Amino acid sequence: MRIFIAGIDGYLGWPLAMHLALHGHEVHGIDNMSRRSLVKEVGSHSAIPIKELHSRVAIFKRETGMEIHAGYGDLRSHDSLLYYFKSFPPDAIVHLGEMPSAPYSMIDEKRCRETHDNNVGGTLSILWAIREVCPDAHLLKLGTMGEYGVPGVSIPEGDFEMQHRGRTARMQFPRQPGSFYHCTKVHDTCNVEFCCRIWGLRATDIMQGVVYGTRISTSYQDHAELATRFDFDSIFGTVINRFCAQAVAGVPITPYGKGGQHRGFLPLKDSIQCLTLALVNPPEPGQYRVFNQMEDTYNILDLAEMVKEAGETLGLRPTIQLVENPRIEAEDHYYDVDHQKLLDLGYVPTSDMRREISEMLTDLLPWKERILKMSRSIAPVVTWSGR
């Protein structure tokens, strides 16, 4: 399969590219390198040092004999995107090329608008390019479970049957985004579904839970020089990754508020497995489908306790300190999510969370000093109220 990855330099993009290439697919991709510059802008860096994209590509070829074709590119340059798709007509496009931080989108008007310009504009550019150049290609877009919010009822996968005034219809489940970033994902959902319905495009929208972890497999993908990034700051670090970095650095693990928030999670290696399953099982022309991608749901405070216990077994002395929640969100709530479709395609969870956390801590320990240098960036500095 010929697969084009937008956002190939990222936390998911790079390991996915390696995984697909190792499984015989022809992989091309672009990245505007904004994740690197934005993390630097907020005063942090990847806990695990990462090579520049061109170096990664060269090392991967040296170690495996296989090629990944990747370079700089911005989705908002529509003419450039048309050129890429004409030069490499893809069977599938994986859209990971979005600014992925709720806190960043809430910093100020400039960052909010920048998030919308990049995310919504980039998705529209891809949709028009598919229509113009490769209308039979499968668009695999990364959404987020954060689109749904916490509605207080069970969350289906995509559409559901609604009854109103004696009539029934199938509708997309209502969205309740929790940040301006999540709003961009909801806009994407509307735009992608519309293009499938009107233009006959085919798309899979992955509503992904929170991804955590450092490892992908026991193959070349875990070669030290081929590592993917690991962000731990309060802007770009996901919650378990942030907790593990805090445990290694010897600073308190800081759940927000009461820590009663429930979210869906899955390890990095399982995210790659799920994305691959979606790619090799494409939808029909005109079909817009939604997969809720997660292993299970967890309470944030319970996760902090898991990290603390795992750290203690490695000789660390983690502590937990609740801090004021910078976000405006429900902290005690009902949360039940359907996530059957990927299991039906063959998804098999590979690791329990406790073991995964222990592996993460082990992988981060060599970089303790590197984390400590930027440990101030872990404390939340962006508040949803703006005060």
How many of the other CB atoms lie within 10 Å of CB of 336?
A: 10
> How sure is the predictor about 53, in pLDDT bands with cuts at 50, 70 and 90?
very high
95 half-sphere exposure, CB direction, 13 A CA radius: 34
Type of residue found at 137:
A
**Catalytic residue check, 185:** yes
Q: Quick check: 222 pLDDT over 70?
A: no
Confidence band for 150, pLDDT divided at 50, 70 and 90: very high
Bridge-based pairing state of the strands 138-142 and 202-208? parallel
Q: What is each CA distance from 178 to 2, 92, 101, 102, in whole angstroms?
A: 35, 30, 12, 8
The ranges assigned to domains in the chain are: 2-231+266-295+334-350
* Confidence at 238, pLDDT banded by 50, 70, 90: very high
Q: Give catalytic status of residue 214 as yes or no.
A: no
Radius of gyration of the chain (CA): 20
Q: Is 181 a catalytic residue?
A: yes
User: Looking at residue 351, what is its pLDDT?
Assistant: 75
Report whether 220 contacts 336 (CB < 8 A).
no
Kindly name the residue from 185, 269, 308, 341 that is annotated as catalytic: 185
Q: Please say whether the beta carbons of 98 and 142 come within 8 A.
A: yes
* CA distance linking residue 76 with residue 120, whole number of Å: 10
pLDDT band at 350 (very low <50, low <70, confident <90, very high): confident
In the three-class reduction of DSSP (H, G, I as helix; E, B as strand; rest coil), residue 320 is classed as strand
Asked if residue 284 has pLDDT above 70, the reply is yes
* Active-site entry in 11, 104, 181, 298: 181
- The topology (CATH level 3) of 2-231+266-295+334-350 is Rossmann fold (3.40.50)
From the list 104, 123, 141, 144, the catalytic residue is: 144
